[in-house]
């Protein structure tokens, strides 16, 4: 019988020994008589290796732990030299302003209520405040980071307990904002307690964006006669009544106004004469007459922006927009038209708007529409613009500048350039420049 012997001092098995093992494994020969002792020796040797490996692993773990500690210390030392640490708190405060979101981030969670509440709590800014004690101190101690009260309807959905959380967060924002003026944004908030709480601070409102229905606006009565600082207002008048806006009867500081819908409800309540910026957005055909009529109440210093939506054209509209003849001393007008699929509707609207308007002081005029409209009816657009810009044979606005050409729109602007320098591409622009 063959023998198979391996001693630990021999080192690794020689190739001949390995080959003998393979031959025995491939055959049905009985194992060598000394196999048990060889296995015992091998087991002891393997245990020695295991013990040595375990020791090395312990040493490696110790070294890795020491390295991690040194790396953390190294990073801390390097952080002391970071340029951002040299920024004064005022600059950091301006940077943190960029962390504030204007709308709830509904992509962060499938639960819209949680998203709405997180928006009020300024979650993104609170995350930044966890970076270090200094940042936390700056964020919590800078009132201008907390003076925007942005309420989305999602923040007051669900059970009453969630609404109480929202109310608590608003109170915290009031407290952290100190005595600074407030930027208030109300988007369909359907909870009276929340609206009444916001209205209780109306004396601090400096800007407001309000999109609420009649029942919701009723909770803002505390603001009536208590809006001394309100300078900028965005208001959605669709679906409400004139009496719903009683809380806006006294806004002596108002300088910028944007209305979504018809201005009719606001004309008797808001001081249009003091505005320096005035916009009417999403003007339907029925609301155009009131927007045009309101121009007579504006001062020359007011910049006007009308955005007309002709998609909602009806049969009754085709009979006439009933725009009253209006004269205004405004210097600047931007007219933006969302092109309808029917050119006739656009042309009728242009003819009636421009025929009704007299703008003797106009110095800056911009007209924006889909390029398709200029392609379909260039001569008609020329006549409409001509009736506004050149109502009489002799007067000529200071000059007609080159229109700006984009992929979707074209603009005509009146600027203080010489008429000789106003030649442009397209028959409309050349014809206007030659007047």
- What is the SS3 string spanning the chain? CCCCCCCHHHCCCCHHHHHHHHHHHHCCCCCCCCHHHHHHHHHHHHHHHHHHHHHHHHHHHHHHHHHHHHHHHHHHHHHCCCHHHHCCHHHHHHHHHCCCCCCCCCCCCCCHHHHHHHHHCCHHHHHHCCCCHHHHHHHHHCHHHCCEEEEEHHHHCCCHHHHHHHHHHHHHHHHHCCCCCEEEEEECCCCHHHHHHHHCCHHHEEEEEEECCHHHHHHHHHHCCCCCCCCEEEEECCCCCHHHHHHHCCCCCCCEEEEECCCCCCCCCCCHHHCCEEEEEEECHHHHHHHHHHHHHCCCCCEEEEEEECCCCCHHHHCCCCCCCEECCCCEEEEEEECCCCHHHHHHHHHHHHHHEECCCCCEEEEEEEHHHHHHCHHHHHHHHHHHHCCCCCCCCCCCCCCCECCCEECCCCCCCCHHHCCCCCHHHHHHHCC
> What is the pLDDT confidence band of residue 159, given thresholds at 50, 70 and 90?
low
Chain-centre distance of CA 274, in angstroms?
A: 29
- 212: pLDDT strictly greater than 60: yes
Measured CA distances, 27 to 22, 24, 31, 92, 271 (Å): 9, 5, 10, 81, 108
Number of neighbours of residue 261 by Cβ within 10 angstroms: 20
- 55: pLDDT strictly greater than 90: yes
Dist. CA 414–CA 332, nearest whole Å: 9
pTM score over 0.75: no
Dist. CA 57–CA 44, nearest whole Å: 20
**In the chain, where are the structural domains located?**
8-79, 84-174
| pLDDT (average), residues 14-27 | 77
pLDDT tens for 79-117 read 888 888 889 999 999 999 888 776 666 666 666 666 777
pLDDT score for 252: 93
Q: Are strands 332-338 and 364-370 parallel, antiparallel or unpaired?
A: parallel
pLDDT score for 166: 83
pLDDT tens for 355-398 read 888 888 888 888 877 776 666 666 766 666 666 666 654 343 44
């Amino acid at each position: 019988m063959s023998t198979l012997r391996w001693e630990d001092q021999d080192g690794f098995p020689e190739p001949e020994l390995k080959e003998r093992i393979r031959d025995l494994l491939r055959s049905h020969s009985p194992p060598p008589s000394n196999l048990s002792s060889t296995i015992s020796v091998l087991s002891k040797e393997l245990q020695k290796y295991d013990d040595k490996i375990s020791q090395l692993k312990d040493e490696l773990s110790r070294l890795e732990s020491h390295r991690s500690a040194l790396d953390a210390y190294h990073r801390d030392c390097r952080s002391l030299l970071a340029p951002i640490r040299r920024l004064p708190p005022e600059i950091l405060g301006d940077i943190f302003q960029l962390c504030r979101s204007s709308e709830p981030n509904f992509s962060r969670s499938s639960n819209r209520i949680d998203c709405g509440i997180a928006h009020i709590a300024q979650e993104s800014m609170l995350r930044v405040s966890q970076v270090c004690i200094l940042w936390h101190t700056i964020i919590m101690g800078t009132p201008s980071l907390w003076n925007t009260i942005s309420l989305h309807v999602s923040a007051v959905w669900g059970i009453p307990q969630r609404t109480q959380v929202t109310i608590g967060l608003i109170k915290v924002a009031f407290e952290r904002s100190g005595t600074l003026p407030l930027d208030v944004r109300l988007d369909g908030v359907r909870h009276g307690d929340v609206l009444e709480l916001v209205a209780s601070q109306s004396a601090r409102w400096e800007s407001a964006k309000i999109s609420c229905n009649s029942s919701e606006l009723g909770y803002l009565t505390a603001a009536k006669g208590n809006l001394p600082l309100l300078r900028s207002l965005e208001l959605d008048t669709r679906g409400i009544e004139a009496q719903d806006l009683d809380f806006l009867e006294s806004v002596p500081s108002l300088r910028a106004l944007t209305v979504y819908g018809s201005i009719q409800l606001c004309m008797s309540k808001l001081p249009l004469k003091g505005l320096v910026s005035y916009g009417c957005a999403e003007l339907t055909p029925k609301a155009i007459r009131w927007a045009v009529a309101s121009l007579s109440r504006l001062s020359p210093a007011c910049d006007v922006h009308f955005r007309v939506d002709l998609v909602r054209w009806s049969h009754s509209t085709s009979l006439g927009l009933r725009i009253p003849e209006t004269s205004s001393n405004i210097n600047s007008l931007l007219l933006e038209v969302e092109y309808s699929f029917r050119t006739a509707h656009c042309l009728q609207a242009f003819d009636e708007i421009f025929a009704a308007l007299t703008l003797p002081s106009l110095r800056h005029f911009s007209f924006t529409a889909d390029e398709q409209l200029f392609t379909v009816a260039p001569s008609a657009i020329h006549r409409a613009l001509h009736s506004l810009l050149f109502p009489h044979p002799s007067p000529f606005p200071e000059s007609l500048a080159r229109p700006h050409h984009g992929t979707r729109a074209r603009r005509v602007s009146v600027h203080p350039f010489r008429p000789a320098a106003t030649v442009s591409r397209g028959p409309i622009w050349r014809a206007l420049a030659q007047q």
